[in-house]
Amino acid sequence: MFGKKSTTGVNTKEVKAILNEKKTKMELSLKACAHCTLCAESCFLFMGRNKDPKYMPSYKFLNSVGILYKKKGNVDILDLGEMRDLVWERCVLCTRCYCPVGVDIPEMIALARRVCRSQGVYPQYERE
């Protein structure tokens, strides 16, 4: 009844290889995030957008790398498109976010961007 989800347009082997390079750090970061929200106030985009939770660094990290990890890299082009909006539109990678337990959120967002880039999903500045 439920067939395997199509990942057409995405080279999942390549995605998995990139994720594997940072597997330990990714796992540790996802486990370590205590959802404490302390990172939120260090993000100027979060503060400047009426504290919209979708701009919270932990939200951005969990909904990009978290999804890649959960799906074990088996993502489709729509997943990456959604991720693109999240990791580029809602984060400028200023590297100022602070995590009390030491999760390197910018590194994780950069990882999600790297996965997107590897599949040709990145901002098209002249069209935006």
Partner 1 sequence: MVKAERKPIEEIKDAINGYKRVLITGCGGCVSICLAGGQREVNELKALLNIHLKKDNTPKELDGYTMERQCNDQFLEELEPTIDQYDCVLSMACGAGVQNMAKMFPQIPVFPALNTISIGIDKDIGMYEERCRACGHCVLGYTGGICPVTRCSKGLFNGPCGGTNNECCEVSQEIPCAWLDIFNRLKEQDRLDDIKKIHVPMEWHNQTPRTIIQESYKQRYSV
Nearer to partner 1, 18 or 62 (CB): 18
CB 76 → partner 1: shortest distance, Å?
A: 20
State both tokens at 41: 């106030």
Q: Cα 22–75–101 angle (5° rounding)? A: 35
CB 74 → partner 1: shortest distance, Å?
A: 23
CB 77 → partner 1: shortest distance, Å?
A: 16
- What whole-number distance in Å separates Cα of residue 22 and Cα of residue 114? 12
Q: What are phi and psi of 32, to 5 degrees?
A: -75, -25
Nearer to partner 1, 11 or 95 (CB): 95
Report the interface residues with partner 1, using CB under 8 A: 21, 93, 95, 106-107, 110, 113-114, 117, 122-126
Nearer to partner 1, 2 or 125 (CB): 125
- What whole-number distance in Å separates Cα of residue 14 and Cα of residue 104? 23
Nearer to partner 1, 100 or 126 (CB): 126
- What whole-number distance in Å separates Cα of residue 59 and Cα of residue 53? 7
